[in-house]
Chains A and B, each alone.
Chain A
Amino acid sequence: MRVPAVALEIALEVDGLVKRYGDRTAVDGISLQARTGTVLALLGPNGAGKTSTIEVCEGFREADGGQVRVLGLPPRAAALRPRVGVMPQTGGTYPGLRAGEVLRLFAAYSRDPLDPGDLLERLGLAGVARTPVRKLSGGQAQRLSLALAVVGRPELLFLDEPTAGLDPQARLATWDLVESLRRDGATVVLTTHLMDEAERLADDVVIVDAGRVVAAGTVTELTRGGATGQLRWRARPGLDLDQLLMALPEDCRAKESPAGQYLVEGTIDPQLLASVTSWCAGHGVLAEDLRLERRTLEDAFLEITGREMRA
Protein backbone atom coordinates (compact mmCIF):
# COMPACT_ATOMS: atom_id res chain seq x y z
CA MET A 1 0.00 0.00 0.00
CA ARG A 2 1.43 3.36 -1.00
CA VAL A 3 0.64 6.59 0.78
CA PRO A 4 -3.16 6.52 0.99
CA ALA A 5 -4.98 8.36 -1.73
CA VAL A 6 -7.05 10.29 0.79
CA ALA A 7 -4.52 11.44 3.35
CA LEU A 8 -5.81 11.97 6.87
CA GLU A 9 -5.32 15.43 8.24
CA ILE A 10 -4.70 14.07 11.71
CA ALA A 11 -2.04 11.36 11.88
CA LEU A 12 -2.37 10.72 15.61
CA GLU A 13 -5.33 11.37 17.84
CA VAL A 14 -5.19 10.76 21.59
CA ASP A 15 -8.32 11.48 23.58
CA GLY A 16 -8.48 11.30 27.36
CA LEU A 17 -5.74 8.66 27.64
CA VAL A 18 -5.30 7.07 31.06
CA LYS A 19 -2.46 4.69 31.97
CA ARG A 20 -2.01 3.24 35.46
CA TYR A 21 0.71 1.08 36.96
CA GLY A 22 -0.84 -0.43 40.07
CA ASP A 23 -1.87 2.49 42.29
CA ARG A 24 0.13 5.04 40.35
CA THR A 25 -1.57 6.97 37.56
CA ALA A 26 1.18 7.78 35.06
CA VAL A 27 -1.10 9.29 32.42
CA ASP A 28 -4.16 11.08 33.72
CA GLY A 29 -6.39 12.04 30.81
CA ILE A 30 -3.96 13.26 28.15
CA SER A 31 -5.44 14.46 24.85
CA LEU A 32 -3.42 15.56 21.86
CA GLN A 33 -3.33 15.56 18.08
CA ALA A 34 -0.51 15.37 15.58
CA ARG A 35 -1.28 16.94 12.23
CA THR A 36 -0.09 14.99 9.19
CA GLY A 37 3.28 16.22 7.93
CA THR A 38 4.21 18.10 11.09
CA VAL A 39 6.45 17.57 14.10
CA LEU A 40 4.76 17.28 17.49
CA ALA A 41 6.92 17.49 20.60
CA LEU A 42 5.81 16.05 23.91
CA LEU A 43 7.72 18.16 26.37
CA GLY A 44 8.00 17.61 30.07
CA PRO A 45 10.25 16.58 32.94
CA ASN A 46 11.19 12.96 33.56
CA GLY A 47 8.26 11.00 34.94
CA ALA A 48 5.69 13.34 33.39
CA GLY A 49 4.06 10.50 31.45
CA LYS A 50 5.61 11.14 28.03
CA THR A 51 6.97 7.64 27.49
CA SER A 52 3.83 5.93 28.79
CA THR A 53 1.76 7.99 26.37
CA ILE A 54 3.99 7.22 23.42
CA GLU A 55 4.21 3.51 24.31
CA VAL A 56 0.43 3.22 24.17
CA CYS A 57 0.50 4.90 20.75
CA GLU A 58 3.22 2.47 19.61
CA GLY A 59 1.10 -0.49 20.69
CA PHE A 60 3.56 -1.59 23.39
CA ARG A 61 1.16 -0.88 26.26
CA GLU A 62 -2.56 -1.16 26.69
CA ALA A 63 -4.49 1.98 27.67
CA ASP A 64 -6.55 1.91 30.88
CA GLY A 65 -8.89 4.55 29.53
CA GLY A 66 -9.46 6.92 26.65
CA GLN A 67 -9.12 6.52 22.91
CA VAL A 68 -6.08 6.38 20.66
CA ARG A 69 -6.20 6.43 16.86
CA VAL A 70 -2.98 6.01 14.90
CA LEU A 71 -3.46 6.86 11.20
CA GLY A 72 -7.14 6.23 11.90
CA LEU A 73 -6.55 2.72 13.32
CA PRO A 74 -6.21 1.18 16.79
CA PRO A 75 -2.53 1.25 17.87
CA ARG A 76 -2.11 -2.53 17.68
CA ALA A 77 -3.54 -2.97 14.18
CA ALA A 78 -1.19 -5.16 12.11
CA ALA A 79 -1.72 -2.87 9.11
CA LEU A 80 0.11 -0.11 11.00
CA ARG A 81 3.41 -1.92 11.37
CA PRO A 82 4.91 -0.96 7.97
CA ARG A 83 3.47 2.56 8.25
CA VAL A 84 4.80 3.45 11.69
CA GLY A 85 8.47 3.71 12.72
CA VAL A 86 9.38 3.38 16.37
CA MET A 87 12.47 4.46 18.30
CA PRO A 88 12.16 3.27 21.91
CA GLN A 89 14.03 5.02 24.69
CA THR A 90 16.38 2.11 25.30
CA GLY A 91 17.35 -1.27 23.96
CA GLY A 92 15.70 -3.31 21.32
CA THR A 93 18.68 -4.44 19.24
CA TYR A 94 20.53 -7.76 19.09
CA PRO A 95 23.72 -7.17 21.12
CA GLY A 96 25.57 -9.88 19.17
CA LEU A 97 24.95 -8.44 15.70
CA ARG A 98 27.05 -5.75 14.07
CA ALA A 99 25.52 -2.29 13.61
CA GLY A 100 25.38 -2.70 9.83
CA GLU A 101 23.83 -6.18 10.11
CA VAL A 102 21.00 -4.95 12.33
CA LEU A 103 20.21 -2.07 10.01
CA ARG A 104 20.23 -4.31 6.93
CA LEU A 105 17.97 -6.78 8.76
CA PHE A 106 15.43 -4.07 9.57
CA ALA A 107 15.68 -2.76 5.99
CA ALA A 108 14.80 -6.27 4.77
CA TYR A 109 11.42 -6.03 6.55
CA SER A 110 10.36 -3.23 4.17
CA ARG A 111 9.56 -3.23 0.50
CA ASP A 112 11.24 0.04 -0.38
CA PRO A 113 13.73 0.90 2.38
CA LEU A 114 16.33 3.66 2.55
CA ASP A 115 19.87 2.61 1.65
CA PRO A 116 21.38 1.30 4.91
CA GLY A 117 24.93 2.30 3.97
CA ASP A 118 23.91 5.86 3.19
CA LEU A 119 21.93 6.12 6.41
CA LEU A 120 24.87 4.89 8.50
CA GLU A 121 27.12 7.42 6.79
CA ARG A 122 24.80 10.34 7.39
CA LEU A 123 24.34 9.49 11.04
CA GLY A 124 28.09 9.19 11.53
CA LEU A 125 27.99 5.42 12.02
CA ALA A 126 29.88 4.27 8.92
CA GLY A 127 33.01 3.73 11.01
CA VAL A 128 31.23 1.35 13.39
CA ALA A 129 29.20 -0.59 10.78
CA ARG A 130 31.19 -3.73 11.65
CA THR A 131 31.18 -3.15 15.41
CA PRO A 132 28.92 -5.39 17.50
CA VAL A 133 25.97 -3.51 18.97
CA ARG A 134 27.07 -4.35 22.52
CA LYS A 135 30.32 -2.45 21.95
CA LEU A 136 28.73 0.78 20.64
CA SER A 137 28.84 3.89 22.82
CA GLY A 138 25.57 5.21 24.21
CA GLY A 139 25.37 7.90 21.56
CA GLN A 140 26.15 5.47 18.74
CA ALA A 141 23.49 3.02 19.94
CA GLN A 142 21.05 5.91 20.10
CA ARG A 143 21.74 6.90 16.49
CA LEU A 144 21.52 3.29 15.32
CA SER A 145 18.14 3.06 17.02
CA LEU A 146 17.00 6.17 15.13
CA ALA A 147 18.24 4.65 11.86
CA LEU A 148 16.24 1.47 12.58
CA ALA A 149 13.10 3.57 13.06
CA VAL A 150 13.42 5.45 9.76
CA VAL A 151 14.95 2.84 7.42
CA GLY A 152 11.56 1.39 6.36
CA ARG A 153 10.30 4.81 5.20
CA PRO A 154 7.24 4.94 7.48
CA GLU A 155 4.77 7.78 7.26
CA LEU A 156 4.54 8.28 11.03
CA LEU A 157 7.47 8.16 13.44
CA PHE A 158 7.51 7.90 17.21
CA LEU A 159 10.88 8.98 18.60
CA ASP A 160 11.28 8.69 22.37
CA GLU A 161 14.04 11.06 23.55
CA PRO A 162 15.90 10.87 20.21
CA THR A 163 18.83 13.07 21.25
CA ALA A 164 19.29 12.00 24.87
CA GLY A 165 22.99 11.55 25.55
CA LEU A 166 24.16 12.76 22.13
CA ASP A 167 27.11 15.09 21.59
CA PRO A 168 26.30 18.41 19.84
CA GLN A 169 27.35 17.19 16.39
CA ALA A 170 25.24 14.03 16.59
CA ARG A 171 22.34 16.09 17.90
CA LEU A 172 22.58 18.35 14.83
CA ALA A 173 22.58 15.30 12.52
CA THR A 174 19.46 14.04 14.28
CA TRP A 175 17.73 17.39 14.03
CA ASP A 176 18.63 17.59 10.36
CA LEU A 177 17.11 14.15 9.78
CA VAL A 178 13.88 15.07 11.60
CA GLU A 179 13.59 18.35 9.69
CA SER A 180 14.17 16.56 6.36
CA LEU A 181 11.59 13.88 7.21
CA ARG A 182 9.05 16.60 7.93
CA ARG A 183 9.90 18.43 4.72
CA ASP A 184 9.34 15.21 2.75
CA GLY A 185 5.90 14.68 4.25
CA ALA A 186 6.40 12.35 7.23
CA THR A 187 4.74 13.00 10.57
CA VAL A 188 7.03 12.93 13.61
CA VAL A 189 5.95 12.61 17.23
CA LEU A 190 8.87 12.97 19.62
CA THR A 191 9.37 13.31 23.35
CA THR A 192 12.01 15.54 24.84
CA HIS A 193 12.87 17.39 28.00
CA LEU A 194 15.05 19.79 26.05
CA MET A 195 13.45 23.17 25.44
CA ASP A 196 15.76 24.14 22.61
CA GLU A 197 14.98 20.88 20.83
CA ALA A 198 11.24 21.49 20.98
CA GLU A 199 11.68 25.12 19.91
CA ARG A 200 13.89 24.16 17.01
CA LEU A 201 11.97 21.15 15.65
CA ALA A 202 8.33 21.24 16.63
CA ASP A 203 5.37 22.74 14.87
CA ASP A 204 3.22 21.89 17.87
CA VAL A 205 4.23 21.42 21.47
CA VAL A 206 2.29 19.63 24.18
CA ILE A 207 3.68 20.32 27.64
CA VAL A 208 2.93 17.51 30.09
CA ASP A 209 3.51 17.41 33.81
CA ALA A 210 2.42 14.77 36.31
CA GLY A 211 0.41 12.89 33.70
CA ARG A 212 -1.62 15.85 32.46
CA VAL A 213 -1.40 18.32 29.60
CA VAL A 214 -0.59 21.70 31.14
CA ALA A 215 -0.27 23.63 27.88
CA ALA A 216 -0.51 22.96 24.17
CA GLY A 217 -0.07 24.99 21.02
CA THR A 218 2.45 26.09 18.46
CA VAL A 219 5.83 27.25 19.72
CA THR A 220 4.85 30.83 18.85
CA GLU A 221 1.61 30.60 20.78
CA LEU A 222 3.29 29.13 23.82
CA THR A 223 6.15 31.60 23.89
CA ARG A 224 4.04 34.66 23.16
CA GLY A 225 1.99 34.18 26.29
CA GLY A 226 0.74 37.79 26.63
CA ALA A 227 2.77 40.99 26.71
CA THR A 228 5.88 39.60 28.23
CA GLY A 229 8.44 40.45 25.57
CA GLN A 230 11.17 42.90 26.51
CA LEU A 231 13.29 45.28 24.46
CA ARG A 232 16.39 46.71 26.13
CA TRP A 233 19.02 49.17 25.05
CA ARG A 234 21.54 51.70 26.35
CA ALA A 235 21.60 55.41 25.40
CA ARG A 236 22.30 58.80 26.97
CA PRO A 237 20.27 59.30 30.14
CA GLY A 238 17.08 61.35 30.31
CA LEU A 239 15.19 60.40 27.14
CA ASP A 240 11.57 61.54 27.12
CA LEU A 241 9.82 58.21 27.54
CA ASP A 242 6.28 59.67 27.51
CA GLN A 243 7.00 60.94 24.04
CA LEU A 244 8.41 57.55 23.01
CA LEU A 245 5.28 55.76 24.28
CA MET A 246 3.10 57.95 22.05
CA ALA A 247 4.87 56.39 19.07
CA LEU A 248 4.24 52.86 20.35
CA PRO A 249 1.13 50.63 20.66
CA GLU A 250 -1.05 51.30 23.71
CA ASP A 251 -0.15 48.17 25.66
CA CYS A 252 3.54 49.09 25.90
CA ARG A 253 5.30 50.25 29.02
CA ALA A 254 8.67 51.95 29.20
CA LYS A 255 11.14 52.79 31.93
CA GLU A 256 14.68 53.96 32.49
CA SER A 257 16.46 52.13 35.24
CA PRO A 258 19.22 52.73 36.10
CA ALA A 259 20.05 55.95 34.27
CA GLY A 260 20.88 55.29 30.61
CA GLN A 261 19.41 51.76 30.63
CA TYR A 262 16.05 51.56 28.88
CA LEU A 263 13.37 48.91 28.86
CA VAL A 264 10.19 48.59 26.80
CA GLU A 265 7.75 45.80 27.65
CA GLY A 266 5.00 44.76 25.30
CA THR A 267 4.17 42.55 22.36
CA ILE A 268 7.50 42.46 20.64
CA ASP A 269 7.03 42.33 16.88
CA PRO A 270 9.00 43.75 13.92
CA GLN A 271 6.78 46.86 13.90
CA LEU A 272 7.59 47.70 17.55
CA LEU A 273 11.30 47.31 16.95
CA ALA A 274 11.10 49.59 13.90
CA SER A 275 9.12 52.21 15.87
CA VAL A 276 11.64 52.34 18.70
CA THR A 277 14.69 52.59 16.45
CA SER A 278 13.14 55.22 14.18
CA TRP A 279 12.08 57.28 17.21
CA CYS A 280 15.66 57.17 18.47
CA ALA A 281 16.98 58.11 15.05
CA GLY A 282 14.53 61.01 14.88
CA HIS A 283 15.91 62.33 18.19
CA GLY A 284 19.56 61.90 17.33
CA VAL A 285 19.90 59.11 19.87
CA LEU A 286 22.24 56.17 19.27
CA ALA A 287 20.68 53.03 20.78
CA GLU A 288 23.45 50.68 21.86
CA ASP A 289 23.27 47.06 23.00
CA LEU A 290 19.76 46.81 21.60
CA ARG A 291 18.39 43.37 22.41
CA LEU A 292 15.13 41.45 22.37
CA GLU A 293 14.23 39.15 25.19
CA ARG A 294 11.44 36.83 24.19
CA ARG A 295 9.76 34.38 26.40
CA THR A 296 11.12 30.89 25.86
CA LEU A 297 9.37 27.56 26.34
CA GLU A 298 11.41 27.36 29.52
CA ASP A 299 9.75 30.54 30.81
CA ALA A 300 6.37 29.16 29.75
CA PHE A 301 6.97 25.92 31.63
CA LEU A 302 8.20 27.73 34.73
CA GLU A 303 5.21 30.06 34.66
CA ILE A 304 2.65 27.26 34.22
CA THR A 305 4.01 24.73 36.69
CA GLY A 306 5.86 27.02 39.06
CA ARG A 307 8.86 24.75 38.72
CA GLU A 308 11.97 24.63 36.63
CA MET A 309 12.19 21.75 34.25
CA ARG A 310 15.25 19.62 34.82
CA ALA A 311 16.73 16.80 32.84
Chain B
Amino acid sequence: MTAWTPGALQPRPGAAPRTAMWAAQSRTEMILLLRNGEQVLLSLVLPVGLLVVLSTLDFVEVTRTGVRRVDYFTPGVIALAVMSTAFTGQAIATGFERQYGVLKRLGATPLPRSVLLLAKTSSVLAVELLQLLLIGAVAYALGWQPAGSVLAVLLLVVLGTAAFSGLGLLLGGTLRGLTCLAVANLAWLLLLVLGGIMFGLDKFGAAEPVLRLLPSAALSDGLRSSLVDGHVVLRDVLTLGVWAAASLVAAARAFRWD
Protein backbone atom coordinates (compact mmCIF):
# COMPACT_ATOMS: atom_id res chain seq x y z
CA MET B 1 0.00 0.00 0.00
CA THR B 2 1.48 3.34 -1.01
CA ALA B 3 1.10 6.31 1.30
CA TRP B 4 -1.22 9.17 0.45
CA THR B 5 0.61 12.07 -1.18
CA PRO B 6 0.58 15.06 1.18
CA GLY B 7 -2.27 17.35 0.15
CA ALA B 8 -4.13 14.60 -1.73
CA LEU B 9 -6.84 14.56 0.93
CA GLN B 10 -7.02 18.29 1.48
CA PRO B 11 -10.67 19.24 2.09
CA ARG B 12 -12.37 20.77 -0.94
CA PRO B 13 -16.02 20.66 0.03
CA GLY B 14 -18.70 21.70 -2.41
CA ALA B 15 -21.86 20.28 -3.91
CA ALA B 16 -21.98 19.31 -7.57
CA PRO B 17 -24.38 21.29 -9.81
CA ARG B 18 -27.96 20.08 -9.36
CA THR B 19 -28.21 18.97 -12.98
CA ALA B 20 -25.16 16.74 -12.56
CA MET B 21 -26.61 15.24 -9.35
CA TRP B 22 -29.96 14.73 -11.08
CA ALA B 23 -28.31 12.98 -14.04
CA ALA B 24 -26.25 10.65 -11.83
CA GLN B 25 -29.19 9.85 -9.54
CA SER B 26 -31.61 9.25 -12.43
CA ARG B 27 -29.13 6.88 -14.04
CA THR B 28 -28.83 5.01 -10.75
CA GLU B 29 -32.59 4.76 -10.26
CA MET B 30 -32.93 3.43 -13.83
CA ILE B 31 -30.24 0.82 -13.22
CA LEU B 32 -31.99 -0.21 -10.01
CA LEU B 33 -35.37 -0.53 -11.75
CA LEU B 34 -34.06 -2.50 -14.72
CA ARG B 35 -31.57 -4.73 -12.89
CA ASN B 36 -34.20 -6.04 -10.51
CA GLY B 37 -35.55 -9.24 -12.02
CA GLU B 38 -38.99 -9.15 -10.39
CA GLN B 39 -39.34 -5.54 -11.41
CA VAL B 40 -38.62 -6.29 -15.07
CA LEU B 41 -41.09 -9.15 -14.89
CA LEU B 42 -43.71 -6.85 -13.43
CA SER B 43 -43.19 -3.86 -15.68
CA LEU B 44 -42.19 -5.42 -19.03
CA VAL B 45 -42.71 -9.16 -19.30
CA LEU B 46 -46.16 -9.44 -17.67
CA PRO B 47 -47.84 -6.56 -19.54
CA VAL B 48 -46.49 -7.70 -22.90
CA GLY B 49 -47.35 -11.33 -22.17
CA LEU B 50 -50.84 -10.36 -21.08
CA LEU B 51 -51.28 -8.29 -24.26
CA VAL B 52 -50.35 -11.23 -26.46
CA VAL B 53 -52.52 -13.71 -24.53
CA LEU B 54 -55.61 -11.50 -24.26
CA SER B 55 -55.40 -10.42 -27.90
CA THR B 56 -55.00 -13.89 -29.37
CA LEU B 57 -56.94 -16.22 -27.06
CA ASP B 58 -60.59 -15.58 -26.29
CA PHE B 59 -61.00 -16.81 -22.70
CA VAL B 60 -61.71 -13.26 -21.62
CA GLU B 61 -64.76 -11.91 -23.33
CA VAL B 62 -64.68 -8.50 -24.99
CA THR B 63 -67.82 -6.82 -23.65
CA ARG B 64 -68.10 -4.33 -26.44
CA THR B 65 -69.28 -5.55 -29.77
CA GLY B 66 -67.54 -4.49 -32.90
CA VAL B 67 -64.21 -3.79 -31.21
CA ARG B 68 -61.22 -5.98 -32.08
CA ARG B 69 -59.51 -7.77 -29.23
CA VAL B 70 -56.12 -6.05 -29.64
CA ASP B 71 -57.73 -2.60 -29.85
CA TYR B 72 -59.78 -3.34 -26.75
CA PHE B 73 -56.97 -4.73 -24.55
CA THR B 74 -53.98 -2.55 -25.50
CA PRO B 75 -55.17 0.54 -23.54
CA GLY B 76 -55.67 -1.61 -20.41
CA VAL B 77 -52.19 -3.10 -20.76
CA ILE B 78 -50.72 0.41 -21.06
CA ALA B 79 -52.53 1.30 -17.83
CA LEU B 80 -51.14 -1.85 -16.24
CA ALA B 81 -47.60 -0.90 -17.29
CA VAL B 82 -47.98 2.58 -15.78
CA MET B 83 -49.36 1.10 -12.56
CA SER B 84 -46.56 -1.49 -12.32
CA THR B 85 -43.77 1.03 -12.64
CA ALA B 86 -45.14 4.10 -10.90
CA PHE B 87 -46.97 2.32 -8.08
CA THR B 88 -45.68 -1.18 -7.39
CA GLY B 89 -42.09 -0.61 -8.49
CA GLN B 90 -41.69 2.66 -6.60
CA ALA B 91 -43.40 1.40 -3.46
CA ILE B 92 -41.20 -1.70 -3.23
CA ALA B 93 -37.96 0.13 -4.07
CA THR B 94 -38.68 2.93 -1.60
CA GLY B 95 -39.72 0.52 1.16
CA PHE B 96 -36.45 -1.38 0.85
CA GLU B 97 -34.36 1.78 0.55
CA ARG B 98 -35.77 2.89 3.88
CA GLN B 99 -35.21 -0.51 5.45
CA TYR B 100 -31.56 -0.50 4.36
CA GLY B 101 -31.02 3.05 5.62
CA VAL B 102 -30.25 4.31 2.10
CA LEU B 103 -32.61 7.29 2.24
CA LYS B 104 -31.35 8.22 5.70
CA ARG B 105 -27.76 8.19 4.53
CA LEU B 106 -28.59 10.13 1.36
CA GLY B 107 -29.94 12.81 3.71
CA ALA B 108 -26.36 13.32 4.92
CA THR B 109 -24.99 13.90 1.41
CA PRO B 110 -25.16 17.06 -0.73
CA LEU B 111 -28.03 15.51 -2.74
CA PRO B 112 -31.15 17.60 -1.99
CA ARG B 113 -34.35 15.63 -1.38
CA SER B 114 -36.09 17.53 -4.16
CA VAL B 115 -33.43 16.33 -6.62
CA LEU B 116 -33.78 12.77 -5.32
CA LEU B 117 -37.55 12.81 -5.90
CA LEU B 118 -37.11 14.43 -9.30
CA ALA B 119 -34.65 11.69 -10.26
CA LYS B 120 -37.07 9.00 -9.10
CA THR B 121 -39.81 10.59 -11.24
CA SER B 122 -37.49 10.86 -14.23
CA SER B 123 -36.52 7.23 -14.02
CA VAL B 124 -40.18 6.19 -13.77
CA LEU B 125 -41.02 8.24 -16.87
CA ALA B 126 -38.03 6.81 -18.74
CA VAL B 127 -39.04 3.24 -17.92
CA GLU B 128 -42.63 4.03 -18.94
CA LEU B 129 -41.40 5.32 -22.28
CA LEU B 130 -39.58 2.05 -22.78
CA GLN B 131 -42.77 0.15 -21.85
CA LEU B 132 -44.93 2.21 -24.22
CA LEU B 133 -42.54 1.63 -27.11
CA LEU B 134 -42.43 -2.11 -26.45
CA ILE B 135 -46.19 -2.49 -25.92
CA GLY B 136 -46.90 -0.30 -28.94
CA ALA B 137 -44.60 -2.36 -31.15
CA VAL B 138 -46.10 -5.69 -30.02
CA ALA B 139 -49.64 -4.32 -30.38
CA TYR B 140 -48.88 -3.10 -33.90
CA ALA B 141 -47.56 -6.52 -34.76
CA LEU B 142 -50.89 -7.91 -33.56
CA GLY B 143 -52.75 -5.46 -35.80
CA TRP B 144 -53.49 -2.62 -33.36
CA GLN B 145 -55.19 0.42 -34.95
CA PRO B 146 -55.32 3.18 -32.35
CA ALA B 147 -57.58 6.20 -32.71
CA GLY B 148 -57.49 9.45 -30.78
CA SER B 149 -54.79 12.03 -30.12
CA VAL B 150 -51.29 11.44 -28.78
CA LEU B 151 -51.71 14.48 -26.50
CA ALA B 152 -54.75 13.00 -24.80
CA VAL B 153 -52.90 9.74 -24.21
CA LEU B 154 -49.89 11.61 -22.82
CA LEU B 155 -52.10 13.67 -20.50
CA LEU B 156 -53.72 10.52 -19.13
CA VAL B 157 -50.39 8.72 -18.73
CA VAL B 158 -48.81 11.68 -16.92
CA LEU B 159 -51.81 12.10 -14.59
CA GLY B 160 -51.91 8.35 -13.99
CA THR B 161 -48.18 8.34 -13.23
CA ALA B 162 -48.64 11.17 -10.73
CA ALA B 163 -51.55 9.40 -9.02
CA PHE B 164 -49.78 6.02 -8.84
CA SER B 165 -46.46 7.60 -7.82
CA GLY B 166 -48.22 9.35 -4.94
CA LEU B 167 -49.78 6.07 -3.83
CA GLY B 168 -46.49 4.19 -4.29
CA LEU B 169 -44.52 6.75 -2.27
CA LEU B 170 -47.24 6.76 0.39
CA LEU B 171 -46.87 3.00 0.76
CA GLY B 172 -43.06 2.95 0.48
CA GLY B 173 -42.74 5.89 2.85
CA THR B 174 -44.80 4.30 5.61
CA LEU B 175 -44.21 0.53 5.31
CA ARG B 176 -40.87 -1.22 5.17
CA GLY B 177 -39.27 -4.00 3.21
CA LEU B 178 -41.28 -7.19 2.98
CA THR B 179 -44.52 -5.73 4.37
CA CYS B 180 -44.40 -3.08 1.70
CA LEU B 181 -43.60 -5.70 -0.94
CA ALA B 182 -46.58 -7.84 0.07
CA VAL B 183 -49.07 -4.96 0.21
CA ALA B 184 -47.84 -3.47 -3.08
CA ASN B 185 -48.11 -6.80 -4.91
CA LEU B 186 -51.56 -7.53 -3.47
CA ALA B 187 -52.79 -4.09 -4.48
CA TRP B 188 -51.33 -4.63 -7.96
CA LEU B 189 -53.25 -7.91 -8.32
CA LEU B 190 -56.52 -6.49 -6.97
CA LEU B 191 -56.37 -3.47 -9.24
CA LEU B 192 -55.48 -5.68 -12.19
CA VAL B 193 -58.57 -7.84 -11.73
CA LEU B 194 -61.09 -5.51 -10.05
CA GLY B 195 -59.72 -2.18 -11.21
CA GLY B 196 -60.91 -2.29 -14.79
CA ILE B 197 -57.61 -3.25 -16.41
CA MET B 198 -58.22 -6.82 -17.45
CA PHE B 199 -62.01 -6.90 -17.40
CA GLY B 200 -64.47 -4.20 -18.28
CA LEU B 201 -66.24 -2.93 -15.17
CA ASP B 202 -69.71 -3.57 -16.58
CA LYS B 203 -69.31 -7.18 -15.34
CA PHE B 204 -69.40 -6.11 -11.69
CA GLY B 205 -72.99 -4.92 -11.60
CA ALA B 206 -73.85 -2.80 -8.57
CA ALA B 207 -70.19 -2.34 -7.64
CA GLU B 208 -69.42 -0.71 -10.94
CA PRO B 209 -69.96 2.96 -9.97
CA VAL B 210 -67.64 2.56 -6.97
CA LEU B 211 -64.96 0.62 -8.86
CA ARG B 212 -65.07 3.25 -11.57
CA LEU B 213 -63.55 5.71 -9.09
CA LEU B 214 -60.35 3.64 -8.74
CA PRO B 215 -57.29 5.22 -10.38
CA SER B 216 -56.69 2.04 -12.38
CA ALA B 217 -60.23 2.15 -13.76
CA ALA B 218 -60.01 5.84 -14.59
CA LEU B 219 -56.69 5.35 -16.38
CA SER B 220 -57.64 2.25 -18.38
CA ASP B 221 -61.12 3.55 -19.13
CA GLY B 222 -59.72 6.94 -20.14
CA LEU B 223 -57.11 5.33 -22.37
CA ARG B 224 -59.72 3.03 -23.90
CA SER B 225 -62.08 5.90 -24.71
CA SER B 226 -59.18 7.78 -26.19
CA LEU B 227 -57.58 5.00 -28.20
CA VAL B 228 -60.72 3.13 -29.26
CA ASP B 229 -63.34 5.84 -29.65
CA GLY B 230 -61.08 8.82 -30.12
CA HIS B 231 -62.60 11.03 -27.42
CA VAL B 232 -61.47 12.03 -23.95
CA VAL B 233 -63.76 11.36 -21.02
CA LEU B 234 -63.50 14.37 -18.73
CA ARG B 235 -64.58 12.36 -15.71
CA ASP B 236 -61.57 10.04 -16.04
CA VAL B 237 -59.20 13.00 -16.28
CA LEU B 238 -60.76 14.60 -13.19
CA THR B 239 -60.70 11.32 -11.23
CA LEU B 240 -56.99 10.87 -11.93
CA GLY B 241 -56.33 14.52 -11.07
CA VAL B 242 -58.02 14.15 -7.69
CA TRP B 243 -56.13 10.91 -6.95
CA ALA B 244 -52.85 12.57 -7.93
CA ALA B 245 -53.39 15.60 -5.71
CA ALA B 246 -54.67 13.60 -2.73
CA SER B 247 -52.02 10.88 -2.86
CA LEU B 248 -49.09 13.26 -3.36
CA VAL B 249 -50.22 15.44 -0.44
CA ALA B 250 -50.73 12.36 1.76
CA ALA B 251 -47.34 10.96 0.75
CA ALA B 252 -45.60 14.26 1.49
CA ARG B 253 -47.19 14.32 4.96
CA ALA B 254 -46.72 10.69 5.96
CA PHE B 255 -43.37 9.95 4.31
CA ARG B 256 -40.62 8.80 6.67
CA TRP B 257 -37.02 8.91 5.48
CA ASP B 258 -35.65 6.40 7.98
Contact = CB atoms under 8 A, between A and B. Distances in A.
Given A154-B11, A186-B9, A60 B104 contact: yes
Given A94-B100, A101-B31, A110 B9 contact: no
Given A84-B108, A105-B24, A180-B4, A185 B11 contact: yes
A180 B15 contact: no
A176 B32 CA distance: 34
B136 interface: no
Given A60-B108, A88-B101, A97-B28, A2 B3 contact: no
B100 A1 contact: no
Nearest to B9: A184
A78 interface: yes
A153 B11 CA distance: 5
A260 B15 CA distance: 67
Interface string B1-39: 111101111111111110011011100100110011000
Contacts of B100: 91-95
A94 B16 contact: no
Contacts of B21: 108-109
Contact of A109 (B1, B15, B101): B15
A91 B8 CA distance: 28
B4 A108 contact: no
B9 A155 contact: no
Contacts of B24: 104-105, 108-109
A176 B4 contact: yes
Nearest to B23: A108
A96 B32 contact: yes
A58 B104 CA distance: 11
Given A3-B11, A155-B11, A184-B7, A109 B110 contact: yes
A180 B109 contact: no
Contacts of A90: 101
A91 B108 CA distance: 13
B111 interface: yes
Nearest to B11: A155
A86 interface: yes
B11 A186 contact: yes
A282 B16 CA distance: 69
A122 B21 CA distance: 26
A108 B89 CA distance: 25
Q: In the complex, which range does the number of interface residues on chain B fall in? A: 35 or more
A186 B11 CA distance: 6
Nearest to A88: B105
Interface in A172-229: 172-173, 176-177, 180-181, 183-186
B67 interface: no
B3 A180 contact: yes
B101 A153 contact: no
Q: In the complex, which range does the number of interface residues on chain A fall in? A: 35 or more
B4 A122 contact: yes
Nearest to A118: B8
Contact of B105 (A92, A112, A186): A92
A120 interface: no
B16 A111 contact: yes
A82 B15 contact: yes
Interface in A130-186: 148, 150, 152-155, 172-173, 176-177, 180-181, 183-186
Contacts of A186: 9-11
B78 to A, nearest CB: 27
A2 B13 CA distance: 6
A153 B9 contact: yes
B178 to A, nearest CB: 14
Nearest to B103: A92
A106 interface: yes
Nearest to A187: B11
Contact of A94 (B10, B13, B32): B32
Interface of B: 1-4, 6-17, 20-21, 23-25, 28, 31-32, 35-36, 96-97, 100-102, 104-105, 107-112, 258
Interface of A: 1-3, 58-60, 78, 81-84, 86, 88, 90-97, 101, 104-106, 108-112, 114, 122, 124, 148, 150, 152-155, 172-173, 176-177, 180-181, 183-186
25 contacts: A2-B14, A58-B108, A60-B107, A81-B109, A82-B15, A84-B108, A92-B100, A94-B28, A94-B97, A95-B96, A95-B100, A96-B32, A97-B31, A104-B24, A108-B16, A108-B24, A110-B15, A110-B16, A111-B12, A114-B9, A154-B11, A155-B11, A172-B1, A180-B4, A186-B9
5 closest A-B pairs by beta carbon, nearest first, are A92-B105, A108-B24, A91-B101, A111-B14, A155-B11
Given A60-B104, A97-B31, A101-B31, 10 more contacts: A60-B107, A78-B112, A82-B13, A94-B32, A111-B14, A114-B9, A153-B9, A176-B4, A180-B3, A184-B7
